[in-house]
């Protein structure tokens, strides 16, 4: 009985493992391959597209967890204050979501995790993997509060513009929050406008406008399309804080960020050789 | 319930490799350049969220016992892949391959778990391990 630290293996072995792992991961439950669809989007009794469903990200969304995905060079238009905030997130904060603090918006729109939507005529609810939810009133006459209590999802108001659900949100937190898995920042001046649509039965799409004049020199957008899960798929209980052993071992920031905008080590030492018994 | 042995090591390696979802970034906690193998006796299982844990009592040459915590996927992910809590028994011989925590704790990200000589599921998609984003 022992434990042993293993040295690096060859780069070719590593790359092979990573490539195969990536393929395998995509074939599993949390993501799904994109599909072509000729089925029209369902509609509710009041005539709006029904956004209800269990939605899964596709492998086409790269890099996942990065709100700079659609920006040239993956470069966020940070103000000096935004640069400072990002540096702080990377070097002095633990990922709030790993501490079971809600990710909020825009982070959840960039997440790799499936989510579920249930749509009513006056409210629409987004259910998330970590047993978090957004309950969005749909009311074109409703106005934002003068000074909403800061929250992770913000004060959200929905309205329909033809076949698009527009969700306008202000009143966000400014601390203990990352805007994505890479530790990108946002401030309490954040204003998010999401435009949700269901172009066909099998897809849901969002255009997310991120406007945060404290931390960003200009508004920018994050676009994403998800595919419908299988009829039997749905969210289940996931009590993030039940046994969060990690909280005492996590370092600051997300760890290394690769040139392609993903998180992880540029190189990785392979595991020890598999035991022969595993072939039996 | 019997353990489900696997045929191809390669396929199992893929099955336990991480993907884009993470409760936490793998690289924020574990060292991808420090692979480790622990061998010992299964002393405890925590079938919990956000991760499962397999605790391994490892005895050194002098007879001292050190307990390693081996982090696996959450119960839902393990169940989807055919591994149930009852498949492992306290006292089973266990070998775990994975990556050690950066902070030097006796904690590792489990990539492969062998129980009584048979390879079972360890981490899975969604645990933020190598290969993920």
Which tokens go with A57? Answer: 């990200």
Name every residue whose Cβ is closer than 8 Å to that of residue A134 and which is 6 or more positions away in sequence: A105, A125, A126, A128, A153, A156
Could you give the CA distance from residue B67 to residue B65 in angstroms, rounded to a whole number? 7
User: Cis (ω within 30 of 0) for the bond into B50?
Assistant: yes
pLDDT for the residue A2: 58
User: Which residues in chain B are contacts of A246 at CB distance < 8 A?
Assistant: 23-24, 29, 50-51, 71
Question: Does the structure show a pLDDT above 90 at A205?
Answer: yes
> Contact A21/B130, CB-based, under 8 Å?
yes
pLDDT for the residue B79: 83
d(CA A175, nearest CA chain B) in Å: 18
Could you give the CA distance from residue B125 to residue A128 in angstroms, rounded to a whole number? 17
Say if CB A260 and CB A63 are below 8 A apart.
yes
User: What's the pLDDT tens digit per position in A31-49?
Assistant: 899 999 999 999 999 999 9
Kind and range of the H or E run holding B57: strand B52-59
Indicate the pTM of the whole model.
0.84
Which burial class, exposed, middle or buried, applies to B120 when counting CB atoms under 10 A from its CB (0-12, 13-18, 19+)? buried
Say whether the ipTM exceeds 0.95: no
Question: Does the structure show a pLDDT above 80 at A65?
Answer: yes
> Contact A17/B131, CB-based, under 8 Å?
yes
d(CA B35, nearest CA chain A) in Å: 5
Could you give the CA distance from residue A74 to residue A81 in angstroms, rounded to a whole number? 19
Say if CB A258 and CB A96 are below 8 A apart.
no
Residue with tokens 């003068």: A146
Among A115, A155, A156, smallest CA distance to A132 is for A115
With CA atoms as reference, the chain B residue closest to A91 would be: B28
With CA atoms as reference, the chain B residue closest to A18 would be: B131
Residues of chain B with pLDDT under 70: 1-22, 121-133
Arithmetic mean of pLDDT, A134-158: 97
Could you give the CA distance from residue A163 to residue A159 in angstroms, rounded to a whole number? 10
- The per-residue DSSP string of A68-84 comes to TTTSGGG---B-HHHHH
d(CA A242, nearest CA chain B) in Å: 6
From the list B76, B126, B133, the residue facing A263 with the nearest CB is B133
Say if CB A54 and CB A236 are below 8 A apart.
no
With CA atoms as reference, the chain A residue closest to B27 would be: A255
SS3 label, residue B14: helix
pLDDT for the residue B121: 63
Which tokens go with B54? Answer: 């397999």
**DSSP-assigned beta bridge partners for residue B71:** B53, B109
Could you give the CA distance from residue A206 to residue A109 in angstroms, rounded to a whole number? 8
DSSP code of B108?
E
Could you give the CA distance from residue A214 to residue A235 in angstroms, rounded to a whole number? 36
Percent of chain A with pLDDT over 90: 83
pLDDT for the residue A134: 97
d(CA A137, nearest CA chain B) in Å: 29
Better pLDDT: A15 or B105: B105
Window B:65-94, CB contacts with A under 8 Å: 66, 68-69, 71, 74, 76-77, 80
Question: Does the structure show a pLDDT above 70 at A146?
Answer: yes
Q: How many other C-beta atoms are found inside a 10 Å radius of the C-beta of residue A257?
A: 21
> Contact A25/B20, CB-based, under 8 Å?
yes
From the list B19, B49, B76, the residue facing A240 with the nearest CB is B49
pLDDT for the residue B8: 30
Chain A contact probe: residue of B3, B12, B23, B102 with most A CBs at under 10 A: B23
User: Which residues in chain B are contacts of A22 at CB distance < 8 A?
Assistant: 17, 19, 131
Kind and range of the H or E run holding A119: strand A115-119
Which tokens go with A61? Answer: 């969304």
Count the alpha carbons within 13 Å of A166 in the hemisphere toward its beta carbon.
11
∠ CA A60-A17-A228, nearest 5°, is 30
Name every residue whose Cβ is closer than 8 Å to that of residue A3 and which is 6 or more positions away in sequence: B36, B37, B38, B39, B58, B66, B68
Confirm or reject contact between B48 and chain A (CB < 8 A). yes
Among A218, A193, A177, A211, smallest CA distance to A86 is for A177
């Amino acid at each position: 009985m022992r434990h042993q630290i293993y040295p690096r293996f060859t780069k070719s072995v590593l790359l092979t493992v990573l490539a195969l792992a990536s393929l395998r991961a995509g074939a599993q439950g949390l993501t799904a391959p994109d599909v072509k669809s000729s089925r029209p989007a369902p509609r509710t009794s009041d005539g709006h597209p029904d956004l209800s469903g269990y939605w899964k990200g596709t492998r086409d969304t790269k890099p996942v967890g990065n709100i700079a995905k659609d920006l040239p060079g993956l470069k966020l238009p940070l103000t000096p204050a935004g640069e400072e905030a990002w540096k702080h997130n990377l070097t002095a904060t633990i990922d709030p979501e790993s501490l079971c603090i809600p990710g909020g918006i825009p982070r959840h729109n960039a997440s790799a995790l499936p989510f579920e939507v249930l749509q009513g005529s006056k409210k629409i609810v987004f259910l998330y993997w970590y047993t978090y939810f957004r309950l969005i009133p749909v009311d074109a006459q409703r106005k934002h509060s003068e000074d909403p209590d800061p929250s992770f999802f913000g004060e959200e108001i929905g309205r329909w513009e033809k076949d698009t659900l527009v969700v306008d949100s202000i009143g966000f937190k400014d601390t203990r929050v990352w805007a994505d898995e890479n530790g990108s920042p946002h401030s309490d001046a954040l204003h998010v406008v999401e435009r949700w649509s269901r172009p066909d039965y099998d897809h849901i799409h969002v255009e997310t406008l991120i406007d945060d004049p404290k931390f960003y020199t200009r508004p920018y957008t994050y676009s994403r399309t998800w595919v419908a899960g299988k009829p039997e798929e749905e969210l289940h209980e996931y009590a993030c804080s039940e046994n969060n052993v990690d909280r005492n071992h996590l370092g600051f920031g997300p760890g290394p960020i690769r040139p392609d905008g993903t998180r992880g080590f540029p190189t990785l030492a392979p595991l020890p050789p598999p035991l022969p018994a595993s072939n039996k | 319930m019997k353990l489900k042995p696997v045929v191809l090591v390669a396929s199992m390696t893929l099955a336990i490799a991480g993907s884009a979802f993470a409760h936490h970034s793998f690289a924020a906690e574990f060292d991808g350049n420090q692979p480790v193998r622990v061998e010992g006796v299964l002393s405890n299982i925590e079938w919990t969220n956000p991760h499962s844990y397999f605790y391994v009592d490892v005895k050194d040459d002098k007879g001292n016992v050190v307990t390693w915590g081996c982090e696996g996927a959450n119960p839902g992910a393990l169940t989807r892949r055919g591994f149930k809590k009852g498949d492992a028994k306290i006292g089973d011989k266990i070998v775990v391959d994975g990556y050690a925590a950066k902070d030097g704790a006796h904690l590792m990200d489990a990539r492969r778990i062998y129980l009584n000589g048979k390879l079972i599921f360890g981490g899975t998609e969604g645990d933020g391990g190598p290969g993920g984003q």
